[in-house]
Amino acid sequence: MRERAVLEATGAGLRRELSLRDITLFGLACIVGARWIAPAAHAGSGSLTLWLLAAVLFMVPLSIAVAELTVRHPAAGGMYIWTRADYGEWHGFLCFWVYWVGSALWFPPTAMFYTSAAAYMLGPRFAPLATDRAFLLTASLAAIWIALGTNIVGVNIGKWTENLGALASWILGIVLAVAAWGVWRQHGSATHFNLLPDLSWNTINFWASIAYALTGMELVGLMGGEVRDPRRNIPRAAWIITPVAVLFYAGSTASALVILPAAKISEVNGISELGQTAGSMLGVPWLPMLLAALLVFGAVGQFGGFGSSVSRMPLAAGVDRLLPAAFARVHPRWGTPHISIVGFGVVASVLLIVMQLGDTLRAAYDTLISLMVIAGFLPFLYIFGSAWKAGRRISVISGVFVTVLAIVCAIVPTPDITRVWLYEVKLFGGTGVVILSAWLIYRRAKR
């Protein structure tokens, strides 16, 4: 009875504006991102095997779980609604809060990556900005708020941001593939492909990022209250998104390794280096600028998709009176949870600033990535737990195995971490603070 009331409340002010095409492009905008191409290529050709393994062992089980649970609970709020229904209110709130904070942690390193890459692609004159902390912070904050602003004014407008972002990312992948084909025909491949993943400690931390890159189907489930006929369209979208996303990542990684050997591909500025190298070899000097433009459009789509979807969980929690009543409000004109979106932007901005303290820029970036992976994966234990209750046993076993493995791998420091103790303190302390803050907020609400 209560779930029905929340379902009606969270759907009352929201508008079902998203068709099958929209929700498919929305999912692709959230999952497909150019930022993972360079790190995967830097790790070597064994990343191609890791992409396929992560797809089979994690992305497919996650898609099955999301499709099943969205059909059962087609309301805005996704995993919060699913977990609360199966495990109770506190667990629903904890799942929501950890994932919400993990999503806020996703914004800073992603914004830093895109702003750094864009600056590097502008040429030697602007290349120093790619490592300038003040510039990256300012540009990242601007990118976050511009992207969130487009989704505050309405899903019918904001969805085009996500649609264009998904298309831009795919065009970037196609451009890389065409450039790699040209380089291969004229000069041969820069890499001798060995599909066995590198088993060294230097790459273990990155394995978690491979799995994290293929998350995002849960964001589609969060939009269940705004999808036309969600019981029909969300499962269909899941089976379209999964193979398309894997093809993008594996194909783009292979293209990058044809153009440059792994050791010469920077994890942060690799896309820029690929564009400059391929442009020089093929006599196409404007190629880096084209890739820069596609990166920016793809980034806006990702920011809009994440910000829009995760704001639906505070909306549902606000209806349950576990958050202040303002979070339950839907803008009367735009039909969006504007307070929730603004609150998410504030948290992401604060985290962007705080996580820079006490370490190098690169170490801060790596710390954010690892903390983001840990906070992002913990809620999947709840999602797969609900899927287990729904009878999806085989896929759940596979999904839980990868989830636990990703969390363990994220704890392993990268070679760029010089102060391991500070890195581990930030990870364990940050995770503890997230869980403790959830308990304190929930306890206060229940009082």
Q: Read off the pLDDT of residues 67-87 as tens digits, 9 standing for 90 and up.
A: 888 878 776 677 888 898 899
Per-domain boundaries in the chain: 2-446
The SS3 of residue 18 is strand
Q: Determine the pLDDT at residue 10.
A: 45
The SS3 of residue 301 is helix
Whole-number Å distance between alpha carbons of 72 and 58: 21
Pair 63, 239: CB distance under 8 Å: yes
pLDDT band at 414 (very low <50, low <70, confident <90, very high): low
**β-bridge partners, 18:** 227
Q: Is the pLDDT of residue 222 over 50?
A: yes
Q: Tell me the average pLDDT of the chain.
A: 79
What is the residue whose two structure tokens read 């502008």?
122
Average confidence (pLDDT) over 339-366: 68
Pair 379, 102: CB distance under 8 Å: yes
Q: What is the CA radius of gyration of the chain?
A: 21
- φ/ψ (deg, to 5) at 332: -65, -25
Q: Where are the alpha helices (DSSP H) in 55-88?
A: 60-72, 79-87
- DSSP code, position 56: I
Q: Is the pLDDT of residue 326 over 80?
A: no
Q: What global pTM score does this model have? A: 0.79
Look at 16 and 292; give whichever has higher pLDDT. 292
Q: Determine the pLDDT at residue 116.
A: 77
Q: Determine the pLDDT at residue 248.
A: 92
pLDDT band at 360 (very low <50, low <70, confident <90, very high): low
What angle, rounded to 10 degrees, do the helices at 20-31 and 155-187 form?
Answer: 60
Q: Determine the pLDDT at residue 218.
A: 85
Annotation: CATH topology of 2-446: Amino acid/polyamine transporter I (1.20.1740)
Average confidence (pLDDT) over 33-53: 86
Q: Determine the pLDDT at residue 1.
A: 41
Asked which of 75-84, 146-155, 274-283, 315-324 is least confident by mean pLDDT, the reply is 146-155
Q: Could you tell me which of 21, 155, 12 has the C-alpha nearest to residue 75?
A: 12
Whole-number Å distance between alpha carbons of 22 and 118: 27
Whole-number Å distance between alpha carbons of 152 and 29: 18
Q: Determine the pLDDT at residue 123.
A: 67
Tens digit of pLDDT for each residue in 103-144? 877 777 777 777 777 777 766 777 677 667 777 778 778 777
Tens digit of pLDDT for each residue in 364-392? 555 666 677 777 788 899 999 999 998 88
Report the amino acid identity of residue 427.
L
Q: Judging by beta carbons within 10 Å of its beta carbon (0-12, 13-18, 19+), is residue 244 exposed, middle or buried?
A: middle
- φ/ψ (deg, to 5) at 227: -100, 135
Average confidence (pLDDT) over 258-287: 85
